[in-house]
Structure 1
Amino acid sequence: MEDNKNIQERINDFLKENKINITGGVITSERQLSSVLNNLAMSDLEKGKTDKALYFTEKSIEFNEKNYNAYFTKGLILRQLSKPSEAIEAFNIYFEKTNDSLTSIYMGLSYAELGDIDNALDYLRKGEKNLEKEEKENHESLICAAYECIGNIYLNKESIVEFTERDKYSINYKSAVKYYKMSLKINRKNYDLINRLAACYYHLEDYNKTLYCYEQAAKIAPDNNMYLEAIKEMKEAGAKSEPAGF
């Protein structure tokens, strides 16, 4: 075990080598240095300096492997670097210690990127279910993405099953509708998502709500002729616009 002098020398050498100036006190332990490095990693991540952020968070863990907050930060960075498998490994270390709902959502999104549908649904639904109201308000964009991702999973399930009975799997579309609307209540201007919602209603043969969705999408993206053509075709077929609940 290193004595205090050697530890202090190691800390000072690292700070000097990386040109890190400390104000308001002196770092006297590797645990303190680990915390500072994790904060630096988060700051660099927010500035888009992902490589530098990854360096600092890895050093943070090197100085204190029990700094579990650093594993969460590392997971965020690895997601930014499009490395979902490695992100899941980092998130999981933090999640096992905290059972944190936000981390569960991040893990679910990462599993979705890997095409692991079962784990994606499990972690996403578990995370959004257990979030406190205040957390949902503070992380609206993340929650919005989670709802959309869950909806996408249900919508795409129809491509991997055989329709041996009429509407046997309509529950997938109904579930997609539920989560798409939850996402749109947070961000109503996502016209691509509204288009997917229209597809769900069309499959469920609810053509009035399908028309409404196309109308809303057209208002947001008026230059998209696809929506205008869809509106024209549905009106000619007798559909009458009916609010879809978002």
Structure 2
Amino acid sequence: MENNKNIQDKINDFLQENRINVKGGTITSEKQLSQVLNDLAMGDFKKGKVEKALYFTEKAIEFDEENYYSYFIKGLSYRRLNKIKEAIESFKVYCKNISDPLADIYLGLSYAELNDVENALNHLRLGEKHISEEEKEKHISLICTTYECIGNIYLNKENIVEFTEGDKYSINYKSAVMYYKMSLKINRKNCDLINKLAACFYHLEDLNKALYCYEQAAKIAADNTMYLEAIQEMKKEGAKSESAGF
């Protein structure tokens, strides 16, 4: 076991080698140093210095193997570098030791990028179910993406099943509708998402709401003739626009 002098020398050497100036006190333990490295890593991540952020997370873990938040920053950094498998492994370590809905959301999005839809849906649903209203407001863009991603998973689940007469009323379509609407309440100008929502209503044989969706999409992307053509077809079939609830 290292004595206090050796530990302090180790800390001082590391700070000097990495040109880290500590303000507001002296770092006297490896656990303290590990926390400082977390702050440095997150700061570099936000500045776009991702490789440097990864370096500090690795060092933070070396100085304190129970500093699990480093794995969260590590996961964010790997996602930024598009190293999704590495990101997943980092988030898994963090989620195994710390209950954090935000991390579950990032883990779910990472699984979705690898088309692992079951793990993606499990973690996304877990995260969005338990995240606080304060955190939702703080990460509103991420939450918007989360709802859309969950909707996409439900819609794709429907696309790969073998259809029967009752499938037009499938719970998967209804679940996709629910999450798409939640996403659109945050960002109403996502015409691609509105188009997917229209498709869901069409399969559910709710042409009135499908028409409404196409009308809203046409207002956002007036130069997209596809929406105008869809509107004409819906009206020919007798549809009358009815609010879709977003």
TM range (shorter): over 0.9
For structure 1, the 5+ residue unaligned runs are none
Residue pairs, 1:40-59, within 5 angstroms? 40-59=40-59
- Whole-Å Cα distance in 2 between the matches of residues 84 and 47 of structure 1? 20
The answer to whether the Cα contact below 8 Å between 1:75 and 1:91 also exists between their aligned partners in 2 is yes
Aligned twin of 1:143: 143
1:44–1:50 CA contact under 8 A, matched in 2? yes
Query: How many residues are matched?
Result: 246
Structure 2 counterpart of 1:74, one-letter code: K
Percent identity of paired positions between Structure 1 and Structure 2: 72
**Normalised TM-score (structure 1):** 0.93
SS at match of 2:20: coil
* Deviation by residue 1:136-184 (Cα, 9 ceiling, x = unmatched): 2222222211111110001011232111334266221111001100111
Superposition misfits of 4+ residues, deviation over 3 angstroms: none
Q: Is the 8 A contact 2:168 2:205 kept in 1?
A: no
Determine the C-alpha separation between the residues in 2 that align with 1:105 and 1:213.
28
Deviation at 1:127, TM superposition (A): 1.5
Matches within 5 A, 1:1-246: 1-167=1-167, 170-246=170-246
Q: Return the letter of the residue paired with 1:52.
A: K
Q: Distance in 2 between matches of 1:174 and 1:66?
A: 43
CA distance in 2, matches of 1:92, 1:124: 13
Out of 112-121 and 164-173, give the one that drifted further: 164-173
AA aligned to 1:18 is N
Q: 1:10 Cα deviation (Å)?
A: 2.1
- Cα contact 1:158–1:169 (8 A) shared by 2: no
CA distance in 2, matches of 1:225, 1:46: 40
Give the aligned CA root-mean-square deviation in angstroms: 1.7
Cα displacement (A) at 1:37: 0.9
The offset of 1:201, in angstroms, is 1.0
Contact 2:104 2:126 in 1 (8 A): yes
Deviates more, 1:146-155 or 1:124-133: 124-133
Give the C-alpha shift of residue 213 in structure 1.
0.8
